[in-house]
């Protein structure tokens, strides 16, 4: 492996300053399984609302596959401008109460994962980081009408116990955040991760309530006051749009009702602690959770159960739209933006592009 220390450039003045030592570090990478565009929203909210300065820059040319996720640039009449190079950076921020913390974010590296995680570990040790907290998101068969679920994992029982009680065992495709957590834990660094559960039918669109949950859990773990007001307001508007679309389709109402029933049945006997409580039940592993969700969504059982539900709904409401049994399209996404259509023919928004933030 090439020398990890040559993979980043560290600001010499900040590196020599005691002001960046002993801080908590939060992290999030865009590109892998970013259901609801959670990390992108978290990143934008922090950069737009909090004071910050650059601590370290990673050499993206060695880490990013440009042909897999092509950067954006602007063409103005007869020339090019505004090239948006991919970035992976470490910044120092100040929270709502002026407390400093570090934020590592950018594209998930395509190459040299072990070298990248070794480089991050060297920074964490050199800056005497007291805790690393990171976040990502996955699609889940859960309704948007229930509280956002979050699964925590890591080596700090006081920060993860009682968040969830589901503990499957499975192998899944890894993300760089998973490997980073593993290497940090092996090195004895305190680390906690959070996987936000996004309703699977909203996973391709920006879903602000999920980003609010991510900021709340990161803030609770790292003892920071992070901004959520704008995202909360945006979330209320998105939920209004979704409610209107759901109300306009009996098929979609049926799907959401089934998800609500399953959610309530599973969670009815599960006690979860508040973010302000230190101890409760043990919690599951995010990798295992993601594997179980992906397996369910890809299973014939999920398709058969949904089709049976929609057929039953049509039988209860004969003549609606003059349709027969529900088709596979009846479980299409309900998304807050764009010109696609809901099941039953109603207009619905489609999925916004990722605007270059893969």
pLDDT tens digits along 43-83: 999 999 999 999 999 999 999 999 988 999 999 999 999 89
pLDDT at 167: 60
Dig out the tokens for 267 from the structure.
């969670």
The pLDDT assigned to 330 comes to 42
**Alpha-carbon distance 28 to 110, whole Å?**
15
The two three-digit tokens of residue 285, written as one number:
């592993």
| pLDDT at residue 351, rounded to an integer | 37
Calculate mean pLDDT across residues 319-330. Answer: 42
Q: Which two tokens stand for residue 40?
A: 């992108």
Q: Which of 155, 159, 204, 162 minimizes the C-alpha distance to 180?
A: 155
Q: Report the distance separating Cα 120 and Cα 7, nearest Å.
A: 10
**What are the backbone angles phi and psi of residue 75, rounded to the nearest 5°?**
-105, 120
The predicted pLDDT at position 59 comes to: 97
pLDDT of residue 39: 97
Query: Which structure tokens are listed for 302?
Result: 């999920």
Structure confidence at residue 306 (pLDDT)? 54
C-alpha to C-alpha distance for 356 and 311, rounded to whole angstroms: 40
pLDDT of residue 240: 92
Provide the angle, in degrees to the nearest 10, between the axes of the packed helices 38-49 and 229-247: 140
Q: What is the pLDDT of residue 268?
A: 63
Q: Residue 100: what pLDDT?
A: 97
- Distance of alpha carbon 230 from alpha carbon 289, whole angstroms: 29
pLDDT band at 170 (very low <50, low <70, confident <90, very high): confident
Higher-pLDDT residue of 322, 90: 90
Sign of the Cα torsion 190, 130, 87, 56 reads negative
Query: What count of other Cβ atoms lies within 10 Å of the Cβ of residue 81?
Result: 8
Each residue's pLDDT tens digit, 249-293: 888 888 888 888 888 887 765 545 544 343 433 444 455 445 445
Q: What percent of the chain has pLDDT over 90?
A: 57
∠ Cα 8 11 13 (to 5°): 155
* Model confidence, pTM: 0.74
**H helices present in the chain, as ranges:** 12-15, 38-49, 60-63, 113-126, 157-160, 176-186, 208-222, 229-247, 250-267, 286-298, 300-316
CA 112 to each of CA 6, 115, 161, 324: distance values in angstroms, whole numbers, following the listed order: 13, 5, 33, 53
Average pLDDT, the chain: 81
pLDDT of residue 203 exceeding 50, the answer is: yes
């Amino acid at each position: 492996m090439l020398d990890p220390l040559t993979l980043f450039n560290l600001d010499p003045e900040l590196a020599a300053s005691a002001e960046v030592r002993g801080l908590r570090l939060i992290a999030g990478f865009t590109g892998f399984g970013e259901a609801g565009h959670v990390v992108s929203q978290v990143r934008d909210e922090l950069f737009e609302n909090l004071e910050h300065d650059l601590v370290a820059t990673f050499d993206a040319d060695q880490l990013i596959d440009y042909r897999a996720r092509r950067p954006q640039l602007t063409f103005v009449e007869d020339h090019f401008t505004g090239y948006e190079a991919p970035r992976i950076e470490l910044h120092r921020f100040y929270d709502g109460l002026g407390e400093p913390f570090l934020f590592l974010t950018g594209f998930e590296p395509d190459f040299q994962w072990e070298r990248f995680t070794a480089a991050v570990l060297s920074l964490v040790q050199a800056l005497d980081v007291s805790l690393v907290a990171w976040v990502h998101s996955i699609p889940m068969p859960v309704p948007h009408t229930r509280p956002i679920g979050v699964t925590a994992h890591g080596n700090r029982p006081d920060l993860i116990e009682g968040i969830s009680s589901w503990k499957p065992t499975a192998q899944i495709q890894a993300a760089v955040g998973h490997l980073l957590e593993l290497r940090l834990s092996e090195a004895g660094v305190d680390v906690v991760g959070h996987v936000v559960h996004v309703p699977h039918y909203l996973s391709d669109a920006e879903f602000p309530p999920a980003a609010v949950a991510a900021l709340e859990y990161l803030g609770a773990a790292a003892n920071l006051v992070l901004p959520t007001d704008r995202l909360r307001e945006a979330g209320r508007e998105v939920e209004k749009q979704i409610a209107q679309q759901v109300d306009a389709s009996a098929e979609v109402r049926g799907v959401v009702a089934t998800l609500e029933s399953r959610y309530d049945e599973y969670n009815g006997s599960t006690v979860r602690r508040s973010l302000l409580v230190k101890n409760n039940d043990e919690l599951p592993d995010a990798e295992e959770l993601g594997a179980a969700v992906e397996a369910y969504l890809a299973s014939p059982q999920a398709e058969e159960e949904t089709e049976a539900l929609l057929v039953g709904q049509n039988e209860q409401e004969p003549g609606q739209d003059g349709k027969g049994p529900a088709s596979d399209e009846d479980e299409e996404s309900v998304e807050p933006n764009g010109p696609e259509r809901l099941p039953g023919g109603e207009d619905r928004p489609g999925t916004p592009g990722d605007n270059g933030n893969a």
